[in-house]
Amino acid sequence: MVALLAYAAAVTFPHEQVQWQCSMLALRITHAGVYRISAGIAAVEVTLFTAFLFWRLRGQSQRGLVTGLWILTLALICAAWRVLTANNLELVHYPQYFPEGVALAALTLSPAEALSWVVIFAGLDEGYQYWVLSKGMPTVFDFNDIYMDLLGGAAGVVFALAFLNCARGKERIFAFRRGVIALLSLIAAGIVLWASGVMLLVQDKTNPHYWFDLGRFRAPAFWVQVVTNGPNHYHTLTPAEGVVVILGTIAMYAALLRKYRIQCAT
């Protein structure tokens, strides 16, 4: 757990320096060149991890289950890339949260709980970026990024299943898991803060009575291109959309694995 927390901090706090290095690289080879390199690295990573996963699954009874979940996760990642990303640099979210998914799957032995903790870590990451690094800038508390982090964590969880025993036997009700309870409690607290008016979804400078907001601009349309962010047209998830998509994805993985009890391999 200590190593997990250290890793989470190591990939969160240097965010500004990483962005600066990417900007310097873009000045040398252009943004288009950086995007091509990012896509190439992502393709290599997917190929290597897929090959290793299939090698690990040889002769295992759960190979069909894990293979199906891996393909599903890659399909969701492709969909998120097409709908939610402004440029290919954002592909870094997936390998960034992949190790956390692996570690949390081994620690919790529950996909639902592991993914819930991934979302909590991702929310802290985005909170640091929104309220510290991007303070005062016209940006949002980015549920797009949190969802990409979730899918990176999901890839890690599925990968970890190749090293764990998935025996037939019903999983403990996922709503009773501590990570799920923590995530649902945070969402419930957010709803209460919004309903009471102390949290706004979009900044309102004429309102002196609220504590904080989740956005300093409103997307002009469902499908937009922000040239300064990248070449892609994409959709910015609202907080309501983000919560629904995130909880729906966690519930989907929990449902697909509901007939299996995960145990440490012996």
Q: How confident is the model over 200-246, as pLDDT tens digits?
A: 999 998 998 899 999 998 888 889 988 878 899 999 999 999 999 99
Please compute the mean of the pLDDT values over residues 33-58 and round it to a whole number: 94
pLDDT in tens, 62-104: 889 999 999 999 999 999 999 999 999 999 999 999 999 999 9
Task: Centre a 10 Å sphere on the Cβ of residue 172 and count the other Cβ atoms it contains.
Answer: 12
| Residues 6+ positions from 140 with CB-CB distance below 8 Å | 130, 214, 215, 216, 217, 236
Question: Are 53 and 46 a contacting pair, CB within 8 Å?
Answer: no
The average confidence (pLDDT) of the chain is: 90
The pLDDT assigned to 218 comes to 86
The pLDDT assigned to 172 comes to 54
How confident is residue 260, by pLDDT bands cut at 50, 70 and 90?
confident
pLDDT in tens, 140-194: 999 999 999 999 999 999 999 998 877 666 555 555 688 999 999 999 999 999 9
Number of structural domains the chain divides into: 1
The pLDDT assigned to 38 comes to 92
pTM of the full structure: 0.94
pLDDT in tens, 127-154: 999 999 988 888 999 999 999 999 999 9
The pLDDT assigned to 167 comes to 66
Distance from C-alpha of 15 to C-alpha of 250, rounded to nearest angstrom: 26
Question: Domain limits at 206?
Answer: 2-264
| Residues 6+ positions from 218 with CB-CB distance below 8 Å | 202
Phi, psi (degrees; rounded to nearest 5) at 238: -75, 165
